[in-house]
Structure 1
């Protein structure tokens, strides 16, 4: 058993004296709490000019003028962060508000123990933020790196210090003075309620018993942070989920924003895990990463995600405002929390800390503005997303809620669960349901679009002429290969019974897909209606040009030629490739495509095709076919194949197998003998 006897100190006659304010401890099989009769003062000790050791660590130093404090709580209280019992508020609420820096604790203990008993001492359950411990003026350990003027401290973990069996530099009766030099960083009071120094008693006793208690506290720390790895895993699973959803709908950028948001949130959780259970990352570095980098960026990404979610394009200043607030948040936290020691004065830091409050409120205002605009634009979709947005606000402003309510969570089966964790889980659930709903509507829209495209392709096939047609004195062969389901190439063959001539129109609309297909349908209708009035190629191109001018992104190359019964040909060209006559490219002047300018002038060429001559019109999809090495099919291959008099199907197959990139169309006209 351990017995404690506390004696009231007498008035000291000098700074170094034989003290009589001693706590008696009898060491048995249990561990004693060092809770009362502590001496405390703020500031740092001067050094002994001879030994260069702190004077306040000396066992004979007169600390009678210091405050006498107790580390035993007045009533049972749990540590709000680690869940340890016997929590004691720090010095900021016990007479030293706003103070950060060095402070000292001292206690004198007389230990009665059998000879050869190994002794050990634990640090407090919680401390802000690091300390050195002295046994009768001899440094026996520390928590943190005190090798520089600005100590490097860590997220607190339970500590244990082995004591020598004989007190170093002790009094004859074996009395030992334990002195603790404590350092609290400037940013700690901003994040920790009741901050400042020790938050509970120390424990002293037989080494094995103390070691078991230390191990229990260590396991308790790991248990309390058990939800962090699970939350990090959930974040990374959401990243994979968002990436998977994006595969089904690459046009929806919201999945990318969600993936980035949860990737950064998972990285934040990983930093928190490493920081909380290991002495790898110092508090300053960890807080720079968590508070000044990841937290502002995550908040900016989430607000942008909802902006994209609601497809808000106005007001146009919203993305810029989000970026500006993110940068201000980062700078405000970096300077305001004094995360880099000596970067600014306390007065400047206080101003920047106020800036971060304004910025966070600005983020909250933007978030609600986005929701209001989203509800106005999408109605039901906005109201359905509202719970998730409110949860996001709770998650991102958890610090203010904790400080305001003084409530930091629950303990469920020994695992600490904070309101932020609950809000994170509910947010993930809400987003998952919203994403499923969004994906369902996206897939339904894609099916409708695919059906529309299929119908457009069917219509396009209907309006194309037969692949092989006989006319009086002419054999016309055609071939068409769309790069997509709906193509942008077109051709029409219109015979005129009155004079025996044939009008052939071929062209290529800019772009691909459904939009190009709709432009093709427009041009084919215009070709048919115009040809009934006047089949002259130049008149036709001028009419088509008027139809396209003024339509955004609606341009087309086009070639129109009229073949008379005697073989005379009139050809008008609007930027299309020249046709090939018996394998050789015709010489003709260039011209602008249709739809460029209203008063465009088109070149006109006249020539004759004799019996057995073959005239072939091709689209640029044949020339621009590209193999895996980046080589073009080119004009030479086309000319070589046409001089060999291959069928149009053979030429189309050759270009397609070479590496089709664009629509392929051919029209071959052979004058019969």
Structure 2
């Protein structure tokens, strides 16, 4: 039947609509390549936006401008291909864009192109000619650890095809499958505009990561200081674990926030053992801070799990290096091995929960709990984030994304949960250092008070001034290198009118040496009550000192001076005295405290008027100046030849450069006597 006019119009309209729909390309299919006109290029950076042509696979001819790409699909350049219908795709893919570039008036046509961050390695072509690349493509692919924009020279205005060849590595166990290819839109322009855009990008990256970078730098500084402290006091292993715990984030933070030119697989290969090492450092740090018994099963388990953790981390790192050095990108056994290692590592990482649970009832100082708690939560947040990423392209868990997303920003700087946890940890460290400083100040005050009491006791035992003794003139000087010293001397009057002079040096310096001096002086005075024989006094000292001063020893010389000028000497490993500037030869023996029985030989002489006998300790001889030169015997002979007082001799060594305790004692006869030497004893 003939159609009515109204129905004919309706039918024609339907046919026209259907033809229009059929003429449109289906979504994702380009009916024909469209040309993008970029006019007045040079006035500013112009985005190469719109729909780009896209094709998975690889063919070197796809860079050619003569290629028929009408069957290619389309894709936006401002999002990865994983979010545009190609999830978890790995391998080669190509982007193409037909563009016509017209330079702005006055422009020379010397243009730059700013390529966005791209996953992973890529090449850029203009009309089939490569104009730049980042990384290298298989068979030995490599790409930067941190994807960032890059600038390349562009040939100039004209029409053609901009093609980008991209290679994306196979997704790892923590890959969500959403990434791949472009992350933003390329831009073209003159040098000033493109470099300005690059500066803006770098500034935004630096500003966004400023706080994180600052925390990592502070952690690195803390790690260095603590490591130096441990190196000087290696018995404090807690310092080593703390240095490792704070140092590891500084290393991997530098890889991923400072845009360092390091290969991604190399960085990932180093990251795995570093992460395992930080795990171990946290375990032992918690064990030390929470004061878990050193023989407890927890410590034995810590050793076992530490071996497992470092082995898994090292093997995981080796797998990444295989990617880089051998090019094994898509081998099933690598994925299986990685899954096994990840499972074992994740199971081991719950060990801190056990440590804290078993130590929760311990009564510890607030600073210990503060650092332990902050370190625990900071690291466990990292562990949960890493563990929830495993297999997320299959599980579609969003935990890791939520934990990594910024909670807020301040002046363009982003604050994520891990950054806040690290901040709390750093505050806990500062609090612990403050408490530690106060405790050390208190201990120093107590130690200073103890040293002051020890100094007062030593001053009481070693007289600052010698009272007048009939027949003799004696001067003395005692100059300890520290608050208290290991030198000693005594002048003891005897009932028969003679005097005993004892002078010596205990090995070592400081408080321990001063305690040995106190013991020696007590024994010396007790022995002087029963005998005035120098040899017997030294033998008695040796018997009582043997095995009572540890590995130490003491040298000593004892002399008995009579009113008639007779002098009797005995020495136990001490330096010989000087007579009128010349060293005397006297029999020597071993120092005190070395052997259980010590036999010392006595020698005698007579001292006349105008003769000076000088006894001293090796601190005078071993004074050292700024250039490392010793005072030495030559200077000593010159000094004693001038017959100085004890104080003048000691100050000469102090001015030269004192390093050890210095004690000097001089003896002169008050009456005129002739000097007669025993045939066993002769001056040099």
**1:223 pairs with 2:212:** no
Change in 2 beyond 3 A, CA 1:527/1:494? same
Local SS of the residue matching 2:568: strand
Change in 2 beyond 3 A, CA 1:20/1:612? closer
Consecutive unaligned residues in structure 1, runs of 5 or more: 11-18, 48-52, 73-83, 169-175
1:457-484 per-residue CA deviation (whole Å, 9 max, x = no partner) reads 1221121124343223222221111111
**Which residue matches 1:406?**
401
**Which residue matches 1:542?**
539
Task: Give the deviation of 1:616 after TM superposition.
Answer: 1.9
**1:194 pairs with 2:177:** yes
d(CA) in 2 for partners of 1:320 and 1:467?
A: 65
**1:390 pairs with 2:398:** no
**1:89 pairs with 2:82:** yes
Contact kept, 8 Å, 2:384 with 2:400, in 1: the verdict is no
Task: Give the deviation of 1:128 after TM superposition.
Answer: 1.9
Contact kept, 8 Å, 2:650 with 2:662, in 1: the verdict is yes
1:194-237 per-residue CA deviation (whole Å, 9 max, x = no partner) reads 25523668689xx679x999977984674254243444345545
**1:333 pairs with 2:314:** no
Local SS of the residue matching 1:103: strand
Contact kept, 8 Å, 1:638 with 1:651, in 2: the verdict is no
1:341-369 per-residue CA deviation (whole Å, 9 max, x = no partner) reads 31768435863675577568768748986
1:25-46 per-residue CA deviation (whole Å, 9 max, x = no partner) reads 786999796569x6543x533x
Consecutive unaligned residues in structure 2, runs of 5 or more: 1-20, 40-45, 390-398, 672-684
User: Mean alpha-carbon deviation: is it higher for 367-376 or for 576-585?
Assistant: 367-376
2:143 to 133, 149, 153: 153
d(CA) in 1 for partners of 2:521 and 2:278?
A: 53
Task: Give the deviation of 1:630 after TM superposition.
Answer: 3.3
Contact kept, 8 Å, 1:626 with 1:660, in 2: the verdict is yes
d(CA) in 2 for partners of 1:323 and 1:534?
A: 67
For 1:505-524, what aligned pairs fall within 5 Å after superposition? Answer: 505-524=502-521
Local SS of the residue matching 2:82: coil
For 1:362-381, what aligned pairs fall within 5 Å after superposition? Answer: 365=351, 380-381=366-367
For 1:51-130, what aligned pairs fall within 5 Å after superposition? Answer: 53-54=61-62, 59-60=67-68, 89=82, 100=90, 102-105=91-94, 127-130=118-121
d(CA) in 1 for partners of 2:616 and 2:608?
A: 20
Count matched residues.
616
Contact kept, 8 Å, 2:100 with 2:159, in 1: the verdict is no
Local SS of the residue matching 2:665: strand
1:599 to 597, 600, 620: 597
**Which residue matches 1:662?**
660
Change in 2 beyond 3 A, CA 1:538/1:196? same
**Which residue matches 1:77?**
none
- State the TM-score, normalized to the length of structure 2: 0.72
User: Mean alpha-carbon deviation: is it higher for 243-252 or for 570-579?
Assistant: 243-252
Task: Give the deviation of 1:530 after TM superposition.
Answer: 2.8
**Which residue matches 2:259?**
275
Change in 2 beyond 3 A, CA 1:305/1:664? farther
d(CA) in 1 for partners of 2:478 and 2:518?
A: 16
Local SS of the residue matching 1:459: helix
Pairwise CA RMSD: 5.2
Contact kept, 8 Å, 1:22 with 1:108, in 2: the verdict is no
d(CA) in 2 for partners of 1:371 and 1:583?
A: 75
- State the TM-score, normalized to the length of structure 1: 0.73
Local SS of the residue matching 1:89: helix
Task: Give the deviation of 1:561 after TM superposition.
Answer: 2.3
Change in 2 beyond 3 A, CA 1:548/1:311? farther
Local SS of the residue matching 1:441: helix
**Which residue matches 1:7?**
25
1:502-536 per-residue CA deviation (whole Å, 9 max, x = no partner) reads 22221101111111111111211222223223343
**Which residue matches 1:22?**
32
d(CA) in 1 for partners of 2:494 and 2:103?
A: 124
**Which residue matches 1:76?**
none
Task: Give the deviation of 1:603 after TM superposition.
Answer: 3.6
